[in-house]
Amino acid sequence: MYTSLNRQRSDMTIFQKIIDKEIPAHIVYEDDKTLAFLDIHPAVPGHTLVIPKNPAEFVWDLPADDYQALMETSRKLALHIRKTMPQQYVHMSIVGTDVPHAHVHLIPFDQTVDFHNPERMQAEPDHQALAEIAKKLQISS
């Protein structure tokens, strides 16, 4: 299991704090190499982030087994989201720019979604709605 005990506090990303359970998150999946939780500023309900517990900034910097685990978890959750949420498709994007910790966005959709809406990012998270969706999407490893 990865921990951030050897990292400086100033190096800690919000994702590392979620991994370390220092801040709350609406977790839908966790295993020894990955963690998945709902985005608190979702493009749409069910917008899920999948992160490696190994804190690499870019997916290409991950060891092969961590990269493979990230992709397997993303696939597992995308299939589950398709079965659980009303949308027909799941958009997947791999990012590491807004938070310097590699992560995958899984976003259910039926048509074009404005993924970068600045107003949505400024809104107060609806934690009750997030908790209900997280309960619906949770799966065990």
Count of the separate structural domains present in the chain: 1
Q: Is residue 2 part of a domain?
A: no
Q: Is residue 96 part of a domain?
A: yes
CATH code of the domain containing 48? 3.30.428.10
Interval 70-87: pLDDT, tens: 999 999 999 999 999 998
Q: Is residue 1 part of a domain?
A: no
Please indicate, yes or no, whether the overall pTM of this predicted structure exceeds 0.95: no
- Could you list the residue range(s) of the whole structural domain that residue 97 is in? 9-137
Q: Is residue 3 part of a domain?
A: no
Q: Is residue 50 part of a domain?
A: yes
Both tokens of residue 43?
């493009």
Q: Is residue 60 part of a domain?
A: yes
2 confidence band (pLDDT: 50, 70, 90): very low
List active site positions: 103
Residues 6+ apart with CB under 8 A from 23: 14, 17
Predicted pLDDT of residue 110? 85
CA–CA distance, 129 with 105 (Å, rounded to integer): 19
